[in-house]
Structure 1
């Protein structure tokens, strides 16, 4: 590459600076992120081409070391540990770390130019994480990108205190009984907010064929639904009364579509809460996660089925 620099008399100063970047070879390194963990994978052949032993690699916390097989070297650690730094940029949470190489302990001298430094960043989007890895050596930057998802879970609770989840499976309830539901990120993080955008119920796992809407666009659609918190914490909580579907069995499954936002983004979808009309321009730019819970079944449903069989006989 040749750079030709021309100047005139409009500015009086010495020298100039130039920066450029190029992509790493395909499949050289990648990063996968979630709300729980960060995974960094580097090809051993790439490290060998640089004369670097995988056993000398470490991240910002030097106690976090990688594992390796014949082809790859990998780091896997909780995203809030191993020296990972968390910042907020334009309403998005960014996790960053570095992979470094300790100098070889053998020999008296080295002719390696510069320090091996692999910068790793995960940009947490609304319902997805986009990971970026770029290598810094001298003035050369290399970049690659990876994609992951937030980890969210949903559970029933026995009361509005939401102290401990129901572990019974399937959860057996009475008709008209209050059901308490909490959806949360699997790792508590007060810098993130979770919004229940929609929740629907179905008698089976096919939510497209037969469903009943409880929450839509963050708004209550069933008059028994009461929302305790939504879009202001890393979790959301609501309740509704148990029902059964007509002309079908007594099972009910629940599916919720959630949006995750940075807590300090006051223009985010989470802050808007109930939105009567869907704005496509916003929704197309937002990534979401879907979580499913169930089944619940009505008490006495098995006995009722047995009685029905006897009557038919």
Structure 2
């Protein structure tokens, strides 16, 4: 806390005798910061006798400036000056922070193949004309909507091609998430809804899947893929071998014909909660109606059984009396 008091507003005092509640610490000296026109106190929140009080909404740090005849005295009966002051801090406040959910391009350098930049973007439809504006992220989908994606490599190296070896989805932005949902593995399409679209550019990979959600409370999906670049047309590269269900090891030759594996990701995709809430309510209503129906059937069966037993009992009595 910083307190400034104009000396002209104070009576004629010995300003060297001004002190805070606890002057034992040298940092509590008012003479250090005062000048010819103002008494200045720089007061720590946790020293110099500062007391803390609180209520439901605020924290109050209180202290006072007093004067004594002798700075070594502990008490005084000459009450010449007492200036109480405090600083009030609200316990709660609002903070804002902005960030971009959209992932930027990934630039890597591979020995022998040079520099590559990988971009991972979402598109509104299968024409892949213009990407979805990054300012709209996170993107919202309904379960079952088709999601269109493109991975593109940019490089000055000629005669190269892109290969997507794997793609996985996870509820967190973590490539090491232990239980991802696999879309592509070892170059093989595993998701039944996945469609790969042909393109004349060997440095592009376009595909789409139907939107889904992870079971549980997760409403977000991140997609990450492992990619590499190869010498185009070379039959000995991983790109040329394509889908390998058994995950055969990559054969490296003396000449550099393919890059290492790199990871690109994009997201999050968010599932619209209104759809989930509607479905949940419908399911609960159906369960409730079905439960009531079963309970009603149970009660009817119980009543019928009771009456049947009574009827049988009475009939047997009548028969016995007639004989």
> So what's the TM-score if we normalise by structure 2?
0.46
Larger radius of gyration: 2
> So what's the TM-score if we normalise by structure 1?
0.47
Higher normalized strand content (fraction of residues):
1
Which structure's relative contact order is higher, taking Cα pairs within 8 Å and 6+ residues apart?
Answer: 1
